[in-house]
Amino acid sequence: MVRRVVLVFFAFVTFIFTVNIILFDSDDIIFLIPLAIIAIITIDFRIKANNKRQSEYEKELLQSGISQVDSMNGRAFEDYLAIILKAKGYNVQQTQASGDYGADLILSANGIKIAVQAKRYSKKVGIKAVQEISSAKNYYGVKECWVITNNYFTAPAINLATSNEVKLIDRDQLVNWMAKEKNRT
């Protein structure tokens, strides 16, 4: 996104310079140079401010305990998992909020791609979550599929996950990850 903004800006500046050279005296370009510099500084400032806000948001999320996780909405839970998984060494890509074909996060590390279904539930996670992530396997071309929850899994979900080689990460494992990350930071 940032790269796209910078490229669009430079294309715009190049266009303005070209039009000025064609239509006006080349001495007029000197007046546009300070404007271009101001624009570059402004864009750089906004990029740094956005990065700082994102970093603060991530730090705040990392300080969350399981009770805060239990009160998060689904998207915040996905953000939280993305931060935890990045800290564990995975490259993380979040899928779009709707029409995600059964995966909320796509992880990669050491040449292995993993599809993750995030379920922030107040009750046990059932068979549907395992079905969703299993269907995402071929669509995303991943080697592994995981379902991560702040709760636990029903017996049918565990049985289906076992037969489909889906890794289930429950509340206990999530709390363990959280504790390790808090100790690390």
The tens digit of pLDDT for each residue in 131-156 reads 999 999 999 999 999 999 999 999 99
| Helix (H), strand (E) at residue 108 | strand 105-109
Q: Report whether 133 contacts 167 (CB < 8 A).
A: no
**Unique residue bearing structure tokens 């979550």:** 129
Q: How many CB atoms lie within 10 A of CB 129?
A: 24
Task: Among 2-11, 82-91, 176-185, name the one with the lowest average pLDDT.
Answer: 2-11
Is residue 33 predicted with pLDDT exceeding 90? no
Tens digits of residue pLDDT in 97-112:
666 778 999 999 999 9
pLDDT value at residue 22: 62
